Protein backbone atom coordinates (compact mmCIF):
# COMPACT_ATOMS: atom_id res chain seq x y z
CA UNK A 1 0.00 0.00 0.00
CA UNK A 2 1.43 3.40 -0.95
CA UNK A 3 1.98 5.88 1.84
CA UNK A 4 -0.42 8.43 0.34
CA UNK A 5 -3.34 5.96 0.53
CA UNK A 6 -2.72 4.72 4.08
CA UNK A 7 -5.38 7.03 5.55
CA UNK A 8 -8.10 6.16 3.02
CA UNK A 9 -7.53 2.48 2.19
CA UNK A 10 -8.57 -0.44 4.41
CA UNK A 11 -6.17 -1.04 7.29
CA UNK A 12 -6.11 -4.79 6.59
CA UNK A 13 -5.36 -6.13 3.11
CA UNK A 14 -5.61 -9.67 1.74
CA UNK A 15 -4.24 -11.57 -1.23
CA UNK A 16 -6.38 -12.04 -4.39
CA UNK A 17 -8.99 -14.72 -3.79
CA UNK A 18 -8.93 -14.15 -0.04
CA UNK A 19 -11.99 -13.58 2.19
CA UNK A 20 -12.02 -9.83 1.50
CA UNK A 21 -11.84 -10.21 -2.29
CA UNK A 22 -15.37 -10.11 -3.74
CA UNK A 23 -16.19 -12.33 -6.70
CA UNK A 24 -17.79 -9.69 -8.89
CA UNK A 25 -19.16 -12.33 -11.26
CA UNK A 26 -21.92 -12.80 -8.70
CA UNK A 27 -23.15 -9.24 -9.22
CA UNK A 28 -24.25 -7.47 -12.40
CA UNK A 29 -25.01 -3.76 -12.24
CA UNK A 30 -25.71 -0.90 -14.62
CA UNK A 31 -27.33 2.53 -14.72
CA UNK A 32 -30.14 3.20 -17.17
CA UNK A 33 -30.01 6.78 -18.53
CA UNK A 34 -33.07 9.04 -18.68
CA UNK A 35 -35.71 8.40 -21.35
CA UNK A 36 -34.22 5.07 -22.36
CA UNK A 37 -34.86 1.36 -22.07
CA UNK A 38 -32.79 -1.74 -21.43
CA UNK A 39 -33.41 -5.47 -21.23
CA UNK A 40 -31.42 -7.96 -19.17
CA UNK A 41 -31.57 -11.58 -18.08
CA UNK A 42 -32.18 -12.77 -14.54
CA UNK A 43 -31.60 -16.44 -13.81
CA UNK A 44 -33.85 -18.44 -11.50
CA UNK A 45 -32.97 -17.80 -7.88
CA UNK A 46 -31.18 -14.52 -8.64
CA UNK A 47 -32.11 -11.34 -6.80
CA UNK A 48 -32.78 -8.23 -8.89
CA UNK A 49 -32.93 -4.74 -7.37
CA UNK A 50 -34.08 -1.57 -9.17
CA UNK A 51 -32.76 1.56 -7.47
CA UNK A 52 -33.60 5.25 -7.66
CA UNK A 53 -30.25 6.95 -8.27
CA UNK A 54 -31.61 10.46 -8.91
CA UNK A 55 -33.28 12.96 -6.58
CA UNK A 56 -36.77 11.75 -7.39
CA UNK A 57 -37.79 9.01 -9.75
CA UNK A 58 -40.51 7.00 -11.30
CA UNK A 59 -38.88 3.87 -9.99
CA UNK A 60 -40.05 1.20 -12.43
CA UNK A 61 -41.80 0.79 -15.76
CA UNK A 62 -41.22 -2.93 -15.91
CA UNK A 63 -41.94 -5.79 -18.33
CA UNK A 64 -41.07 -9.46 -17.65
CA UNK A 65 -41.03 -12.57 -19.88
CA UNK A 66 -39.99 -16.17 -19.48
CA UNK A 67 -36.44 -16.15 -20.86
CA UNK A 68 -36.92 -19.35 -22.86
CA UNK A 69 -40.48 -18.73 -24.04
CA UNK A 70 -41.53 -15.07 -24.52
CA UNK A 71 -45.12 -16.15 -25.13
CA UNK A 72 -45.18 -16.50 -21.36
CA UNK A 73 -45.07 -13.01 -19.93
CA UNK A 74 -46.16 -10.95 -16.95
CA UNK A 75 -49.95 -10.65 -16.67
CA UNK A 76 -50.76 -7.41 -14.87
CA UNK A 77 -54.53 -7.79 -14.69
CA UNK A 78 -54.50 -11.36 -13.33
CA UNK A 79 -51.80 -10.41 -10.84
CA UNK A 80 -54.10 -7.61 -9.70
CA UNK A 81 -56.83 -10.21 -9.08
CA UNK A 82 -54.61 -12.81 -7.41
CA UNK A 83 -52.56 -10.41 -5.30
CA UNK A 84 -53.79 -6.79 -5.14
CA UNK A 85 -53.83 -3.60 -7.16
CA UNK A 86 -50.77 -2.21 -5.35
CA UNK A 87 -48.13 -4.87 -4.75
CA UNK A 88 -45.31 -5.03 -2.23
CA UNK A 89 -43.17 -7.52 -0.31
CA UNK A 90 -44.19 -11.21 -0.67
CA UNK A 91 -46.58 -10.48 -3.54
CA UNK A 92 -45.90 -12.39 -6.75
CA UNK A 93 -46.09 -11.27 -10.36
CA UNK A 94 -47.93 -13.94 -12.35
CA UNK A 95 -47.64 -15.02 -15.98
CA UNK A 96 -50.20 -15.37 -18.76
CA UNK A 97 -52.25 -18.41 -19.72
CA UNK A 98 -51.74 -21.27 -20.22
CA UNK A 99 -48.72 -21.05 -17.90
CA UNK A 100 -50.07 -19.16 -14.88
CA UNK A 101 -47.10 -19.24 -12.53
CA UNK A 102 -45.23 -16.64 -10.50
CA UNK A 103 -42.38 -15.22 -12.55
CA UNK A 104 -41.00 -13.29 -9.57
CA UNK A 105 -41.70 -12.76 -5.89
CA UNK A 106 -41.16 -9.30 -4.42
CA UNK A 107 -38.50 -9.65 -1.72
CA UNK A 108 -37.70 -6.03 -0.85
CA UNK A 109 -39.43 -2.67 -1.07
CA UNK A 110 -38.13 0.49 0.59
CA UNK A 111 -41.49 2.15 -0.12
CA UNK A 112 -43.63 -0.48 1.59
CA UNK A 113 -44.41 1.96 4.42
CA UNK A 114 -45.14 4.90 2.14
CA UNK A 115 -48.36 6.70 3.05
CA UNK A 116 -50.00 9.39 5.12
CA UNK A 117 -49.81 7.40 8.37
CA UNK A 118 -46.77 5.21 7.76
CA UNK A 119 -48.94 2.19 6.98
CA UNK A 120 -48.00 2.12 3.31
CA UNK A 121 -51.47 3.32 2.30
CA UNK A 122 -52.40 6.83 1.22
CA UNK A 123 -55.62 8.72 1.93
CA UNK A 124 -57.40 7.03 -1.00
CA UNK A 125 -56.20 3.53 -0.10
CA UNK A 126 -53.50 3.44 -2.76
CA UNK A 127 -49.89 2.34 -2.49
CA UNK A 128 -46.83 2.87 -4.66
CA UNK A 129 -46.23 -0.11 -6.98
CA UNK A 130 -49.44 -0.31 -8.98
CA UNK A 131 -50.94 -2.54 -11.68
CA UNK A 132 -53.64 -0.03 -12.61
CA UNK A 133 -52.11 1.88 -15.52
CA UNK A 134 -50.24 1.07 -18.67
CA UNK A 135 -47.32 2.55 -20.57
CA UNK A 136 -47.32 5.77 -22.56
CA UNK A 137 -47.05 5.16 -26.29
CA UNK A 138 -46.57 7.08 -29.56
CA UNK A 139 -49.92 5.96 -30.96
CA UNK A 140 -52.01 7.69 -28.30
CA UNK A 141 -49.67 10.67 -28.58
CA UNK A 142 -50.42 10.88 -32.31
CA UNK A 143 -54.14 10.47 -31.73
CA UNK A 144 -54.31 13.22 -29.10
CA UNK A 145 -51.84 15.73 -30.51
CA UNK A 146 -51.50 14.97 -34.21
CA UNK A 147 -47.72 14.81 -33.74
CA UNK A 148 -45.21 11.95 -33.77
CA UNK A 149 -42.93 11.39 -30.78
CA UNK A 150 -40.83 8.23 -30.47
CA UNK A 151 -39.84 8.79 -26.85
CA UNK A 152 -42.44 6.90 -24.87
CA UNK A 153 -42.16 3.92 -22.52
CA UNK A 154 -43.63 1.66 -25.21
CA UNK A 155 -40.89 2.82 -27.59
CA UNK A 156 -38.18 2.44 -24.95
CA UNK A 157 -39.27 -1.12 -24.21
CA UNK A 158 -39.51 -1.95 -27.92
CA UNK A 159 -35.92 -0.83 -28.51
CA UNK A 160 -34.78 -2.66 -25.37
CA UNK A 161 -36.06 -6.09 -26.39
CA UNK A 162 -35.08 -5.91 -30.08
CA UNK A 163 -31.66 -7.52 -29.44
CA UNK A 164 -33.50 -10.53 -27.98
CA UNK A 165 -35.56 -11.02 -31.14
CA UNK A 166 -38.73 -9.52 -29.65
CA UNK A 167 -40.86 -6.72 -31.09
CA UNK A 168 -43.45 -4.23 -29.90
CA UNK A 169 -46.04 -7.03 -30.17
CA UNK A 170 -44.29 -8.61 -27.18
CA UNK A 171 -44.35 -5.44 -25.05
CA UNK A 172 -47.15 -5.64 -22.49
CA UNK A 173 -48.80 -3.84 -19.58
CA UNK A 174 -46.44 -2.86 -16.85
CA UNK A 175 -45.65 -2.66 -13.19
CA UNK A 176 -45.64 1.07 -12.60
CA UNK A 177 -44.07 2.89 -9.66
CA UNK A 178 -44.01 6.53 -8.59
CA UNK A 179 -42.90 8.37 -6.46
CA UNK A 180 -39.47 7.49 -5.13
CA UNK A 181 -36.49 9.35 -3.73
CA UNK A 182 -32.80 8.71 -4.12
CA UNK A 183 -31.85 5.38 -2.60
CA UNK A 184 -35.32 3.82 -2.75
CA UNK A 185 -35.46 0.37 -4.28
CA UNK A 186 -37.74 -2.40 -5.48
CA UNK A 187 -36.37 -5.94 -5.28
CA UNK A 188 -37.52 -9.37 -6.41
CA UNK A 189 -36.33 -12.96 -6.67
CA UNK A 190 -36.69 -14.70 -10.04
CA UNK A 191 -38.85 -17.82 -9.69
CA UNK A 192 -37.65 -19.05 -13.10
CA UNK A 193 -35.29 -17.77 -15.80
CA UNK A 194 -36.68 -14.42 -16.96
CA UNK A 195 -36.01 -11.53 -19.31
CA UNK A 196 -36.69 -8.10 -17.84
CA UNK A 197 -37.04 -4.79 -19.63
CA UNK A 198 -37.13 -1.41 -17.92
CA UNK A 199 -38.01 2.07 -19.17
CA UNK A 200 -37.04 5.34 -17.56
CA UNK A 201 -40.23 7.21 -18.31
CA UNK A 202 -39.88 10.22 -20.66
CA UNK A 203 -42.37 11.97 -18.38
CA UNK A 204 -40.04 11.53 -15.43
CA UNK A 205 -41.68 11.71 -12.02
CA UNK A 206 -44.88 13.12 -13.60
CA UNK A 207 -44.66 16.32 -11.56
CA UNK A 208 -45.20 18.25 -14.81
CA UNK A 209 -47.93 17.67 -17.39
CA UNK A 210 -47.03 15.79 -20.58
CA UNK A 211 -50.24 16.74 -22.39
CA UNK A 212 -53.03 19.27 -22.07
CA UNK A 213 -53.21 22.78 -20.72
CA UNK A 214 -50.44 22.37 -18.15
CA UNK A 215 -48.00 21.24 -20.83
CA UNK A 216 -48.87 23.99 -23.32
CA UNK A 217 -48.42 26.66 -20.68
CA UNK A 218 -44.93 25.44 -19.78
CA UNK A 219 -42.13 27.91 -20.31
CA UNK A 220 -39.89 25.38 -22.09
CA UNK A 221 -40.46 23.32 -25.21
CA UNK A 222 -39.74 20.16 -23.20
CA UNK A 223 -41.36 20.72 -19.79
CA UNK A 224 -40.78 17.23 -18.39
CA UNK A 225 -37.05 16.95 -19.17
CA UNK A 226 -36.07 18.35 -15.78
CA UNK A 227 -38.25 15.68 -14.11
CA UNK A 228 -36.39 12.75 -15.69
CA UNK A 229 -33.93 10.70 -13.65
CA UNK A 230 -31.77 7.61 -14.32
CA UNK A 231 -32.35 4.25 -12.65
CA UNK A 232 -29.89 1.70 -11.36
CA UNK A 233 -30.21 -2.08 -11.67
CA UNK A 234 -28.29 -4.68 -9.66
CA UNK A 235 -28.55 -8.46 -10.05
CA UNK A 236 -27.14 -10.71 -7.31
CA UNK A 237 -26.43 -14.41 -7.68
CA UNK A 238 -26.70 -16.34 -4.44
CA UNK A 239 -24.16 -19.08 -3.63
CA UNK A 240 -24.90 -22.43 -5.27
CA UNK A 241 -27.27 -24.51 -3.19
CA UNK A 242 -28.19 -21.71 -0.77
CA UNK A 243 -31.83 -21.57 -1.89
CA UNK A 244 -32.41 -25.29 -2.39
CA UNK A 245 -31.04 -25.97 1.08
CA UNK A 246 -33.88 -23.78 2.35
CA UNK A 247 -36.58 -25.54 0.36
CA UNK A 248 -36.82 -23.18 -2.64
CA UNK A 249 -37.85 -24.70 -5.96
CA UNK A 250 -38.30 -23.20 -9.40
CA UNK A 251 -41.94 -22.24 -10.06
CA UNK A 252 -43.62 -24.63 -12.47
CA UNK A 253 -46.57 -23.70 -14.74
CA UNK A 254 -49.89 -24.34 -13.03
CA UNK A 255 -51.55 -24.67 -16.43
CA UNK A 256 -50.21 -28.21 -16.73
CA UNK A 257 -52.80 -29.33 -14.18
CA UNK A 258 -55.69 -28.34 -16.46
CA UNK A 259 -56.88 -31.31 -18.54
CA UNK A 260 -60.34 -30.13 -19.51
CA UNK A 261 -59.69 -29.50 -23.19
CA UNK A 262 -61.61 -26.18 -23.36
CA UNK A 263 -64.82 -28.05 -24.29
CA UNK A 264 -63.50 -28.79 -27.77
CA UNK A 265 -66.00 -31.64 -27.80
CA UNK A 266 -69.13 -29.55 -27.71
CA UNK A 267 -71.79 -30.36 -25.15
CA UNK A 268 -75.36 -29.26 -25.92
CA UNK A 269 -77.16 -28.05 -22.83
CA UNK A 270 -80.89 -28.60 -22.69
CA UNK A 271 -82.94 -25.42 -22.30
CA UNK A 272 -84.94 -25.03 -19.09
CA UNK A 273 -87.76 -23.40 -21.06
CA UNK A 274 -87.61 -20.32 -18.86
CA UNK A 275 -87.15 -16.91 -20.44
Tens of pLDDT along the chain (275 residues)? 455 555 566 677 777 766 665 555 557 789 999 889 999 999 999 999 999 887 666 667 899 999 999 999 999 999 999 999 999 999 999 999 999 999 999 999 998 887 656 665 666 656 688 898 899 999 998 999 899 988 899 999 999 999 999 999 999 999 988 778 888 999 999 999 999 999 998 876 666 666 544 444 434 567 777 778 889 999 999 988 999 999 999 999 999 999 988 888 887 887 776 66
**Residue 4 forms part of a structural domain:** no
pLDDT recorded at residue 35 = 86
Q: pTM to 2 decimals? A: 0.83
CA distance 159 to 173: 16
Torsional sign, CA 114, 116, 119, 120? negative
Total number of domains in the chain: 1
* Separation CA 123–CA 64 (nearest Å): 30
Q: What is residue 32's predicted lDDT score, i.e. its pLDDT? A: 92
Nearest to 236 by CA among 198, 185, 179: 185
Cα(188)–Cα(140) distance, integer angstroms: 31
Contacts of 209 (CB under 8 A, 6+ apart): 215, 218, 223, 224
Where in the sequence is the domain holding 246, given as residue range(s)? 21-250
Task: Say what the pLDDT of residue 112 is.
Answer: 85
pLDDT at position 53 is: 87
Q: In the prediction, which pLDDT does 216 show?
A: 43
Residue 207 confidence (pLDDT): 64
Residue 257 inside a domain? The answer is: no
d(CA 2, CA 8) in angstroms, rounded, equals 11
Please report, for the chain, how many H helices and E strands are present, in that order: 4, 15
Q: Is residue 88 part of a domain?
A: yes
- Report the pLDDT value the prediction gives residue 268, as an integer from 0 to 100: 81
Are the CB atoms for 88 and 127 separated by under 8 Å?
A: yes
274 occurs within a structural domain:
no
Is the peptide bond prior to 125 cis by the omega test (within 30 degrees of 0)?
no
Q: Within 13 Å of residue 251, how many CA atoms lie on the same side as its CB?
A: 24
Q: Flag whether 153 is in a domain.
A: yes
Is residue 165 in some structural domain?
yes
Per-residue pLDDT at 217:
42
pLDDT of residue 219: 42
Print the SS3 string covering 66-112: ECCEEEEEECHHHHHHHCCCEECCCCEEEECCCCCCEEEEEEEECCC
Asked whether residue 152 is domain-assigned, the answer is yes
Give 180: exposed, middle or buried? Use CB within 10 Å, 0-12, 13-18, 19+: buried
Q: Are 67 and 41 in contact (CB under 8 A)?
A: yes
194 upstream amide cis, omega within 30 of 0? no
Give SS3 for 167: coil
Residue 200: inside a domain, yes or no? yes
Instruction: With H, G, I as helix, E, B as strand and everything else as coil, classify residue 42.
Output: strand
Amino acid sequence: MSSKNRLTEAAYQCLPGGPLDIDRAFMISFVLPIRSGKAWEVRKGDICRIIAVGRTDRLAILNIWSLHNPRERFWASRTRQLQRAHVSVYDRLWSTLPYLRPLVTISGDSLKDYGVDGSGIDAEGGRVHDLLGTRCDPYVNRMLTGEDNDYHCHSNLTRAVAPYGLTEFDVHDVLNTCPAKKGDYFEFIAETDILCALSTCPGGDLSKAMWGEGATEATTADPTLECCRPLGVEVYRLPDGWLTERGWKEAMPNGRAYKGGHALKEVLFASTGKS
